[in-house]
Structure 1
Amino acid sequence: MALVDYLDKGASLGPGEPCLLAGTETMTYAEVQQLSHRVAGALHRRGVRAGESVAILSGNDPVAFSAVFGISRLGAVWCPVNPRNEAAENRALLDLFDCTCLIFQAAYAPLVEKIAPLLPKIRVYVCLDGPTPLGATFAEWAAAPPVSALPSPSNADTVMLVGTGGTTGTPKGVMLTDRNLEAMSAITLMSYPFSGRPTYLALAPLTHAAGVLCFPIMALGGRIVIMARPDVGEFLNLIEARRVTHTFLPPTVIYLALAHPDVRTTDLRSLQCFWYGAAPMSTARLTEAIEVFGPVMGQLFGQSEAPMMISTMAPAEHLHPGGGLAVDRLGSAGHPSPLVTVAIMDGTGALLPPGERGEIVVRGSLVMRGYYKNPAATAEAGAYGWHHTGDIGYLDSDNYLFIVDRAKDMIITGGYNVYSAEVEQALMHHPAVYEAAVIGLPDDKWGERVTAVVQPAPGFSVDLADVMAFVRERLGGVKAPKQIEVWAELPRSRVGKILKGEIRDRLR
């Protein structure tokens, strides 16, 4: 399946059915198809060829997302660019990806005009929603009839280039093929509940998880409701008004939804699956989410290099067969997914038995082609014939995968390994703690000192002695923080991940 095949498959199930909905506007499958043909033709007329990189710099927008399928129809490579990035980071990514065309929203025209002189490889600029000195408007550019004959895309080629998070070091370009995304879509459809034509609500950025989760929805002829900007209240309203069946949010936004005054009066009965992932979720908050949203929470674990579905935990797996909460597995990332082989590896390349901790490694058609123009990083990530995730974890006797930390975040204190994620989970069970980040700081006695920064829960003040005793009782003195700081807000990246490097620098 090429990316455009998901659109065409949905159209075959009903060309007049709603495909993309935003506000009061609706685009049918036939209309999105027609637009994709015009985009492919416009790209071809401007000299963009199959295999070349075309970037989209936009917030959540139905026309911008429709253009993805025009890029695919031509056989070009879709490069989603995060509009929250700094100008320098986006310039570096566009240059790294060898982009020849940039499609962007007018809201980002000042950023584009700033970096355009430093991007000599880009020949075509197109503004989605207004005039710009750099090039034609999208309406003018895509107005001509489509080109009658275009090359057929090959599923052996790269179809998507994704920038890794640039919060640490130089970003890399992850090369994803149609086969990678087909594996991801197949796992999604195999692993989670779907009944009838799904309605998917996209609040999270379409440049990330929310975008690729659209493909399996479209394969079923489903509707995609696109939110232009994050608004938790409107998110809840849309679930009720649009009878939403599927949605995805990272844990931090789920916490905001749980705290919203309308969440317990909103009709949420249409939900079949509420995906969560992209960061660890507090088991205490997950328990609350199951109570509030119903037994519909579905976990996914993946990364750009193996998108979304390394392991999955369907809603039913959150419960025991008798109906009670499966508390023992709520802290897991679920089972390795059906089309992926997952193992735990030590530093010498040896695979470890159940219960032993090491790096989580992966094989299968979900794994990326490699890093763009970076053979050294590709070889390092694929050492010993497995893709290395950089996450530390273990498989239990029931084959549930538990992620205990990022390898770079492990703390060695007094000769013992302490996994920051385990301490963070314990902290977030305290009612006064909204969220926590745990790092190691240099210490003359311990080597590294387990240090926590906590964000108070709304309406609570944090009693440091009480929180320290709370964690010590659960984890013991070695793992309990020796130092706790209280900050009003934890620093986050543009995709919502906590910036431990910034925390470390500030505390030092």
Structure 2
Amino acid sequence: MRSIDYFDKGVERAGDRPAFIEGDMSMTFKELQAETYRFAAAMAADGAAYQSTVALYAPNHWSVLIALLGLWRFGAKWVPVNARNSVDTNIQFLNYVRCERLFYHSSMTEEVEEMLANIPSFTTAVCLDKPNGDHPSLEQFMKRGEGVDWQEKCDAFGNLDEIVGLFATGGTTGPSKGVNVTNLGWGTMLSTASCYWDVPDIEPVCLVTAPMTHAAGPVTVATMSIGATQVILPGFDAGKVLEAIEKHKVTHIYLPPTALYILMDHPDLNKYDLSSLKIFLLVGSPVAPEKLRQAVEIFGPCMCQCYGQVESPMITTWLDPATVARAAAGDHPERLASCGRATPHVRVGIMDDDGNLLPPGERGEIVSRGPLVSHSYFEKPEATEEVRTFGWHHTGDVAYRDEEGFFYIVDRKKDMIVTGGFNVYSAEVEACILELPQILECAVIGIPHEKWGEAVTAICVLAEGESISEEDVIAHCKTRLGGVKAPKKVEFWTELPKTPANKLDKKTIRQKFWGDSDRNVG
């Protein structure tokens, strides 16, 4: 089906229930559905073409739902813009995909001005929450569609090849790649997730506190398909999350492990009634097994997690609440370190470098195959072919599978760091640091961090006779890459270990920080 069809199923199921609540603002599912038609008609009146590219750049805000669902109603491609990236990074990606339209929140005005000055492909800019200079508000934009005779473009199969999104991957040695996500892949994800998350005999309520431009977006759309009301918070605040769970009787919530740890450490945790929770989903990075065990004690048998990436989104594997609860109680406690079993519509295997699928217990790269796998990289056929070697999608993550089919991630084949649920590729940070003339060599790795899972850390060798402070290195990276990718720590060594091929020996570097740990991820 089309992505918008999943929302329409939610309307059929819960038409008169609130689709979202944000402060004093709310709409029923039927009211929100009507707004998506208005948005689509306005896109037609504005001259937008089918499969045009539309960027959404905003914090969590109810208007994002209208724009997102409306652009899917029209048949456009969603380009989520990460507000935590540097402006340069976002400009680079939006130019690469030749984005045509920008819908943004007024809090992003300064960044948007710089974007508009440097992205010639933009034809339209709309401020979601209010008129802003020459830019109309979302309501003003939608009035353009009044009286327009617009018809949905759909076929009996649900437009399976239609692209619903151009999603950025983390860059390695160059700009991020754009992942072409089709209705087939996105729909497979939504239908799989909604089956797992559909709890009988409740009125579902999903708390949205993580960024909609990241994993919270798919969680939002998937839970709306089962009629879940979205309670929207502008960002993560542990106290406000606890208040919202009790006030709205929240049944579903997604958080990265870093936010879970903060929530568990809140001094008023025991003052709130959290018994309504049925699905507490952890995505983005591995969770510490002991923390997960403690979370079951605090929140009850609702804890669960899944594994995926942009190219094989979110629910490639699934670790269900019952399995987590049993493991926390001592039945196969090792499964607290697992990311679960393969989901029904995707094959998942462990592969060596020669393309051989490995038996249980042996470590290799996680590979996947099936309709969940995304279509391709935008205008990068060689990169697409490379990641599909041997007829499987290659994730770059190293893991093993046990005899019962549970997968355990132990390392990352690609030099990727997962910090606070966001992906950071070390080569991009290394290239930025090496722009500084004082630095001769550097290696960037992730080291264990209680809050972020992994903290971006740079190990640098100074050029002869040069000096620079840790603070100056970090400040340079924040300016060039943004706060997420910038190192949290910089160490200066006299030399970096090398392999026999004279490459940086990151395994040896990591050992100082990770020791003999079985898992080289947080």
Identity of aligned residues (%): 35
2:299 to 293, 301, 310: 293
Whether contact under 8 Å (2:327, 2:335) holds in the other structure is no
1: distance between equivalents of 2:96 and 2:452? 38
Q: What residue identity is the alignment partner of 1:300? A: C
Paired position in structure 1 for 2:274: 268
2: distance between equivalents of 1:444 and 1:80? 39
Which ranges in structure 1 are unaligned for 5 or more consecutive residues?
411-419, 455-467, 481-496, 499-508
- C-alpha spacing 1:41/1:246, structure 2 compared with 1 (3 Å): same
Which ranges in structure 2 are unaligned for 5 or more consecutive residues?
417-444, 460-495
Paired position in structure 2 for 1:205: 211
Whether contact under 8 Å (1:274, 1:296) holds in the other structure is yes
1: distance between equivalents of 2:379 and 2:127? 29
- C-alpha spacing 1:62/1:96, structure 2 compared with 1 (3 Å): same
Whether contact under 8 Å (1:98, 1:121) holds in the other structure is yes
Q: Deviations over 1:283-302 (max 9, x none)?
A: 11111111111111011100
Q: Deviations over 1:435-477 (max 9, x none)?
A: 56698973379965344687xxxxxxxxxxxxx9xx66x77xx
| 1:114 CA drift (Å) | 1.1
| 1:339 CA drift (Å) | 1.1
Paired position in structure 1 for 2:368: 362
| 1:143 CA drift (Å) | 2.1
Task: Output the TM-score relative to the length of structure 2.
Answer: 0.80
Q: What residue identity is the alignment partner of 2:497? A: D
2: distance between equivalents of 1:29 and 1:117? 38
2:407 to 401, 408, 428: 401
| 1:409 CA drift (Å) | 4.7
Q: What residue identity is the alignment partner of 1:75? A: G
1: distance between equivalents of 2:178 and 2:163? 11
| 1:239 CA drift (Å) | 0.6
Paired position in structure 2 for 1:443: 497
Aligned length: 447
Task: Output the TM-score relative to the length of structure 1.
Answer: 0.82
- C-alpha spacing 1:322/1:206, structure 2 compared with 1 (3 Å): closer
Q: Please list, as runs of the form range in 1=range in 2, the aligned pairs for 1:243-392 lying within 5 A after superposition.
A: 243-320=249-326, 324=330, 326-392=332-398
- C-alpha spacing 1:99/1:435, structure 2 compared with 1 (3 Å): closer
- Work out whether 1:172 is the aligned partner of 2:177: yes
Whether contact under 8 Å (1:395, 1:402) holds in the other structure is yes
- C-alpha spacing 1:189/1:30, structure 2 compared with 1 (3 Å): closer
Whether contact under 8 Å (2:36, 2:69) holds in the other structure is yes
Q: Deviations over 1:143-182 (max 9, x none)?
A: 2426333241422111111111247631011111111121
1:222 to 220, 228, 238: 228
- Work out whether 1:81 is the aligned partner of 2:87: no
- Work out whether 1:187 is the aligned partner of 2:177: no
Q: Deviations over 1:404-454 (max 9, x none)?
A: 1111359xxxxxxxxx99x95xx97xxxx9956698973379965344687
Q: What residue identity is the alignment partner of 2:97? A: F
- C-alpha spacing 1:233/1:452, structure 2 compared with 1 (3 Å): farther
Paired position in structure 2 for 1:31: 31
Partner SS, residue 388 of structure 1:
strand
Q: Please list, as runs of the form range in 1=range in 2, the aligned pairs for 1:232-247 lying within 5 A after superposition.
A: 232-247=238-253
1: distance between equivalents of 2:75 and 2:398? 37
Paired position in structure 1 for 2:482: none
Whether contact under 8 Å (1:197, 1:220) holds in the other structure is no
CA RMSD between the two structures: 2.8
| Larger RCO, structures 1/2 (Cα 8 Å, 6+ apart) | 2
Q: What residue identity is the alignment partner of 2:178? A: G
Query: Greater shift after overlay, 248-257 or 78-87?
Result: 78-87
Paired position in structure 2 for 1:113: 113
- C-alpha spacing 1:181/1:19, structure 2 compared with 1 (3 Å): same
Q: What residue identity is the alignment partner of 1:114? A: E
Partner SS, residue 319 of structure 1:
helix
| 1:88 CA drift (Å) | 0.9
